[in-house]
């Protein structure tokens, strides 16, 4: 390696890390997505802690979720994270209203977390890590990592196991509290566990992918193939015209 090659390689590595960071922010919503995830639950537990009014707490949480969606629509930003928040809050509200137990506001989200943890682990054991299915389209590689990029598949497997383990650890804390703690205790612990485990999982994903081979841009490959086919057609037409 020459001294002239080294800066190029370092720049390439920095570019790869920057692309990975951007992809993770896009896939998981970044800071705004985290706020949209935390705010409805925070409002619910705050109001319930103050006045123990299930209906008011539930309506306030659902209302702020809808406001977040409207803000996304007005600013013409992606709404997938806000919409997922609305659906999660709506399920919690319906469940709590049906049972009359304020703790049940949190139960659908807890069950979703448990299901997601199992999905990360099971899909990885089956050779199709869930994190690869999520991030593949973001990196424009789709499923090329499964057969053409084994190093990247290994990184996705490590990341998926990390997500599964972190979410299972979170469930191991929350489900006992669902049975033994009161609504406010469960709510505040759940709020406290919203961001740190998520950030840890995202950071580990970044670490694994930053060390992995670069993604294969299958969209660029398809465009190149289409251009080559068009060129061959033009050459064939030109020869036939002669």
Place of tokens 């008011």: 56
- Would you state the pLDDT for residue 7? 41
- Would you state the pLDDT for residue 15? 59
Alpha-carbon distance values, 241 to 208, 229, 234, 235, 238 (Å): 55, 18, 10, 10, 5
- What band does 133 get if pLDDT is binned at 50, 70 and 90? very high
List pLDDT tens digits, range 89-127: 888 888 888 988 999 999 999 999 999 999 999 999 999
- What band does 10 get if pLDDT is binned at 50, 70 and 90? very low
- Would you state the pLDDT for residue 215? 87
Average pLDDT over residues 162-173: 97
What span, in angstroms and rounded, lies between the C-alpha atoms of 75 and 203?
28
List pLDDT tens digits, range 18-37: 667 666 766 666 677 777 88
List pLDDT tens digits, range 188-228: 999 999 889 988 998 999 999 988 998 888 878 777 777 77
- What band does 242 get if pLDDT is binned at 50, 70 and 90? low
Contact 129, 153 (CB under 8 A): yes
- Would you state the pLDDT for residue 71? 81
pLDDT higher than 90, residue 163: yes
List pLDDT tens digits, range 41-84: 888 999 989 988 888 998 998 888 888 888 877 877 666 666 66
Closest CA to 157 of 79, 223, 209: 209
Closest CA to 94 of 64, 71, 61, 47: 61
- What band does 164 get if pLDDT is binned at 50, 70 and 90? very high
- Would you state the pLDDT for residue 110? 94
């Amino acid at each position: 390696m020459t001294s002239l090659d080294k800066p190029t390689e370092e720049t390439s590595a920095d570019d790869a890390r920057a692309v990975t960071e951007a992809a993770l922010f896009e896939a998981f919503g970044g800071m705004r997505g985290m706020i949209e995830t935390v705010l409805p639950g925070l409002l619910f537990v705050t109001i319930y802690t103050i006045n123990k009014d299930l209906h008011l707490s539930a309506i306030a949480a659902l209302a702020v979720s809808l406001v977040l969606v409207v803000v996304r629509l007005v600013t013409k930003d992606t709404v997938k994270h806000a919409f997922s928040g609305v659906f999660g809050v709506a399920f919690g509200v319906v469940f709590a209203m049906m049972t009359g137990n304020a703790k049940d506001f949190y139960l659908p989200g807890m069950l979703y977390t448990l299901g997601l943890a199992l999905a990360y682990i099971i899909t990885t054991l089956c050779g199709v890590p869930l994190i690869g299915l999520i991030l593949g389209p973001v990196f424009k590689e789709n499923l090329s990592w499964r057969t053409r990029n084994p190093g990247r598949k290994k990184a996705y497997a490590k990341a998926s196991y990390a997500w599964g383990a972190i979410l299972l650890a979170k469930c191991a804390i929350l489900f006992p509290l669902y049975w033994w703690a009161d609504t406010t205790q469960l709510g505040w612990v759940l709020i406290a566990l919203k961001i740190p485990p998520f950030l840890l999982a995202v950071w580990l994903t970044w670490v694994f992918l930053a060390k992995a081979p670069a993604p294969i841009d299958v969209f660029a490959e398809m465009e190149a193939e289409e251009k080559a086919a068009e060129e061959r057609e033009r050459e064939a037409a030109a020869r036939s015209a002669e």
